[in-house]
Structure 1
Amino acid sequence: MQKNTGIKRILLAAKYSWFGLIAAWKHEAAFRQEIIGLVIAVAVALLLDISLIEKAALIGSVLFVITVELMNSAVEAVVDRIGLERHELSGRAKDLGSAAVFVAIGLALLVWASILWTYFI
Structure 2
Amino acid sequence: MKKRIQSFKYAGRGVAKVAATEINFRLHLLAAAAVTALGFYFRLAPLEWAAVLLCFGLVLSAEAMNSAVERLVNFISPGRHEQAGEIKDIAAGAVLLAAAAAAIVGGIIFIPKMAARLGALTSP
TM-score tier after normalising by the smaller chain length: 0.7 to 0.9
Query: Could you tell me how far apart the structure 1 residues matched to 2:27 and 2:111 are?
Result: 25
Query: Could you tell me how far apart the structure 2 residues matched to 1:112 and 1:52 are?
Result: 14
Aligned to 1:24: 18
Identity within the alignment, %: 29
Residue 34 of structure 2, aligned match among 33, 40, 51: 40
Q: Which runs of structure 1 show a deviation greater than 3 angstroms over 4 or more consecutive aligned residues?
A: none
| Structure number, greater radius of gyration | 2
Cα displacement string for residues 73-105 of structure 1 (whole angstroms, at most 9, x for unaligned residues): 000010011122111221111000110000001
1:1-121 mapped onto 2 (5 Å cutoff) = 7-119=1-113, 120-121=115-116
For normalisation by structure 1, the TM-score amounts to: 0.87
Which consecutive unaligned segments of at least 5 residues does structure 2 have? Answer: 117-124
For normalisation by structure 2, the TM-score amounts to: 0.85
Query: Could you tell me how far apart the structure 2 residues matched to 1:38 and 1:10 are?
Result: 28
Which consecutive unaligned segments of at least 5 residues does structure 1 have? Answer: 1-6
- Aligned-residue CA RMSD in angstroms? 1.4
